[in-house]
């Protein structure tokens, strides 16, 4: 396998559903949080690979709005791990010119975590390299609903009319709407669903499903997914003939 991918075929925005941490831990007779801790190493590897390959945005699904249904001790361990990562990884991200963005409904995350998020985003705000978006307490349905509430409030205040509502307006209120839409979504762990992740944003996203559990998904796995994407023909509603004609124009 080649170590580099032709730059014009590299996805601008990669989204990843990091699945399989618990199963990785269970296979080793370890508590679930051990799998999540091991998964942090995969995050480092994937961030480095995407930055090196010229990916502009990497969005990681860290904690869904449905994950609160998990056992309390696991939820608490995940929140503690999130604090741990923010306290120890942000300097490394900043030193590597990575800009951190947290998306999701943050009010439930607690004061300490929100303070760390604010500090991390402020520290990296002026960085010009890879944008690392982390979805925490995030759900695609929540995202669309919060955009609709914001637009409805503007209509109620008389700042917008119903006729002003368009796809572009909705997009401007959706999380990451100011960034390129995901070109590639990877899900690890063998499952083949998107689990309420970036529902609006992934209208034309290419999908790669990997049987590897997330802690096992590192540099070579990321490169394989990017190479798979590079072989895809993206038509966006056009025919193959139209796509070829546009390439030659």
Residues catalogued as catalytic: 19, 67
Alpha-carbon span 70 to 77, nearest angstrom: 11
Q: What does the block give as tokens for 91?
A: 């300097």
Sign of the CA dihedral with 22 first, then 26, 32, and 36 last? negative
Question: What sections of the chain are H helices per DSSP?
Answer: 21-27, 32-53, 72-95, 111-124, 140-156, 167-173, 219-230, 240-248
Q: Which contiguous run of DSSP H or E holds residue 15?
A: strand 13-17
CA distance 149 to 170: 11
How many other CB atoms sit within 10 Å of the CB of residue 71?
Answer: 9
Tell which residue, 83, 61, 70, has the closest CA to residue 22. Answer: 70
Residue 243 contacts residue 235 (beta carbons within 8 Å): yes
The SS3 of residue 75 is helix
Q: Are the beta carbons of 33 and 82 closer than 8 angstroms?
A: no
Burial 81-99 (b: 16+ CB within 10 A, else e): bbbebbeebbeebbeeebb
Residue with tokens 């100011």: 178
Measure the CA–CA gap between 36 and 31, rounded to whole angstroms. Answer: 10
């Amino acid at each position: 396998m080649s170590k580099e991918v032709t730059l014009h075929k590299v996805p601008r925005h990669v989204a990843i559903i990091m699945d399989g941490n618990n199963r990785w831990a269970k296979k080793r007779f370890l508590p679930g949080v051990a799998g999540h801790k091991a998964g942090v190493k995969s995050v480092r590897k994937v961030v480095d690979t995407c930055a090196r390959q010229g990916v502009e945005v990497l969005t990681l699904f860290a904690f869904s709005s449905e994950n609160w249904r998990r056992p309390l001790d696991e939820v608490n361990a995940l929140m503690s791990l999130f604090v741990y990562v923010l306290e120890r990884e942000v300097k490394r991200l900043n030193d590597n010119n990575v800009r951190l963005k947290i998306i999701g409904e943050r009010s439930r995350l607690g004061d300490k975590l929100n303070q760390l998020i604010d500090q991390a985003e402020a520290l990296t705000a002026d960085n010009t390299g890879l944008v690392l978006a982390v979805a925490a307490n995030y759900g695609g349905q929540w995202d669309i609903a919060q955009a609709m509430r914001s637009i409805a409030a503007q209509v109620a205040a008389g700042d917008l009319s119903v006729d002003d509502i368009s796809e572009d307006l909705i997009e401007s209120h959706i999380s990451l709407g100011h960034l390129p839409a995901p070109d590639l979504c990877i899900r690890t762990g063998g499952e083949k669903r998107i689990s309420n992740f970036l529902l609006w944003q992934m209208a034309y996203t290419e999908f790669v499903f990997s049987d590897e559990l997330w802690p096992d998904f590192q540099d070579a796995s990321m490169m394989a997914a990017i190479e798979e994407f590079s072989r895809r023909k993206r038509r966006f509603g056009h025919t193959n003939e139209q796509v070829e004609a546009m390439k030659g124009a």
